[in-house]
Amino acid sequence: MPSSRLWLARPFGERSTLIFLAVLGATMALVVAANLLLAPEHPLHVSTYTVTLLGKYLCYALLAVAVDLVWGYLGILSLGHGAFFALGGYAMGMYLMRQIGDRGVYGDPLLPDFMVFLDWDSLPWYWLGFDMAGFAFVMVLLAPGLLALVFGFLAFRSRVTGVYLSIITQALTFALMLAFFRNEMGFGGNNGLTDFKELLGFDLSADATRLGLFIASGVALALGFLLCRAIVVSKLGRVCVAVRDAESRTRFLGYRVERYQQFVFVVSAMLAGVAGALYVPQVGIINPSEFSPLFSIEVVVWVALGGRATLYGAVIGALAVNYAKSVFTGVMPEAWLFALGALFVLVTVLLPQGIAGLLSRSRQQGSDDDSDTQPDTPTDTLDATPREATP
């Protein structure tokens, strides 16, 4: 394997990566400029509210990239990535809770409000250390990473794949949701963690902090994208695609399939955790609904809409669906679930390659394109027995 510096730098040789980074950078620069330089009366002014909203979308986009990494390149349809996202968010939320200090409603210097309300007299052991930013940020990576490690160790070693794996990931996030709803868990139960004051000493309600979080989200997305790209174009990534397309054959060739799956799954979970951690200070709350199976499966449809196994497609899908969601829920909230449901059906039936598929098809029109030139295109052979397409 090449040295790590070269390994991470390799995606810069790709045109698509450069385009993606350029577009992302330019858009963010424009948003920041429009927020800071233009007067609030100016028609092109971007309000801080919108900046935070966009920051939220960027976090979702990072989550979608994480899902695309395992679904697009490893063939693991995770219906539980919301759990990793939420765990990262809770780790951040716990840090933010500890930062409140004695400014809570009950003014307890040590205990968060909900613990005072529940008559707890001391901090549970798993809350210790979260007053230190460094520790909390490590936990943002470690908590989802460890869960993915344990879960992946159990699942991949016994070769649970395909639909079974999807259902188990869904059960995982469902179980976690039920657990976090319990007050006894010590994570605020139903209400979750909220009422945050400051992050690293910066006031969370200040415009500058919000802008900073937006930029941080964008940088995290760019780095996450680069990391995923680096994995995908490396030899490791090639093996992953082989596992996706023919798991048994790859195993017969001598590859330890479960190790590849394990590694990529943990990396993906950590990325999701980072996305959650950046998401929480921007929305100002984390509660168990982030664990809901519906959210996790929604993420998958962002990826499906954008286009599987492209990474940039996941970003497009996440932004598009969430923008549509904001518009719909504002204009006619009851129609949103119809639209989302229809999106699920239409994308899978009519648009299996997603928006990215449309883009590349129009770009390559005329040129004699051989499917071999597109190794990223997923061919869905997740079950080993071939099935006929038509009777």
Partner 1 sequence: MNSIAGRHWLSALVLLCLVALGLGQAWAQDAGASEAASSDQGPALLSALAESSFRDKEAAIDAIAESGDERARRWLESFAEGKLARVKDSGAIVVVLENRGRNWPVADALTLEPAGEISRRELDRVSINNSLRGYLDSTLALIDLRVDDPAQRLAAARDLLGEVEAEAVDSLSELAAAESDPEVAATLEQAIAIARVEQGDVAAVEALSGSLNGQARAALMQASRSDDVALAEAAQAALAESEQALKLNRAAETLYFGLSLGSVLVLAAIGLAITFGVMGVINMAHGELIMLGAYTTWAMQQLLPGQPGLALLLAIPAGFLVAALVGVAIERGVIQFLKGRPLETLLATFGVSLILQQLVRTLISPLNRTVVTPEWMSGSLVINEALSLTLNRLYVLGFAILVFAALMLVMRRTRLGLEVRAVTQNRAMARSMGIRATRVDILTFALGSGVAGLAGVALSQLTNVGPNLGQNYIIDSFMVVVFGGVGNLWGTLVAGLSLGVINQVLEPWAGAVLAKILVLVFIILFIQKRPRGLFPQKGRAAEG
**Contacting residues toward partner 1, per CB under 8 A:** 77, 151, 154-155, 157-160, 162-164, 166-168, 170-172, 174-175, 178-179, 181-182, 293, 297, 300-301, 304, 334, 337-338, 340-345, 347-349, 352, 380, 382-391
Closest CB to partner 1 among residues 37, 349: 349
Taking the complex as a whole, how short is the minimal distance between the CB of residue 375 and partner 1, in angstroms? 19
Closest CB to partner 1 among residues 20, 187: 187
Q: Are 343 and 305 in contact (CB under 8 A)?
A: yes
Q: Among 172, 291, 220, which Cα is nearest to 59's?
A: 220
Taking the complex as a whole, how short is the minimal distance between the CB of residue 219 and partner 1, in angstroms? 31
Taking the complex as a whole, how short is the minimal distance between the CB of residue 330 and partner 1, in angstroms? 17
Taking the complex as a whole, how short is the minimal distance between the CB of residue 51 and partner 1, in angstroms? 31
Closest CB to partner 1 among residues 300, 356: 300
Q: How far apart are CA 146 and CA 48, in angstroms?
A: 36
Identity of residue 334: E
Rg of the chain in Å (alpha carbons): 22
Closest CB to partner 1 among residues 212, 352: 352
| Secondary structure (H, E, C), 125-140 | HHHCCCCCHHHHHHHH
List Cα–Cα distances, 133 to 93, 210, 234, 345, 391, in angstroms.
Answer: 11, 18, 33, 43, 60
Task: Please list, in sequence order, all residues whose beta carbon lies within 8 angstroms of the beta carbon of residue 293, skipping any fewer than 6 positions away.
Answer: 79, 80, 82, 170, 173, 174, 177
Taking the complex as a whole, how short is the minimal distance between the CB of residue 154 and partner 1, in angstroms? 4
Residue 96 DSSP label: H
∠351-357-363 over CA atoms, to 5°? Answer: 135
Residue 119 DSSP label: T
Taking the complex as a whole, how short is the minimal distance between the CB of residue 149 and partner 1, in angstroms? 14
Closest CB to partner 1 among residues 284, 352: 352
Write out the two tokens for 167. 């259902």
Closest CB to partner 1 among residues 17, 78: 78
Task: Please list, in sequence order, all residues whose beta carbon lies within 8 angstroms of the beta carbon of residue 323, skipping any fewer than 6 positions away.
Answer: 57
Taking the complex as a whole, how short is the minimal distance between the CB of residue 151 and partner 1, in angstroms? 8
**H-run or E-run covering 180:** helix 162-181
Closest CB to partner 1 among residues 90, 225: 90
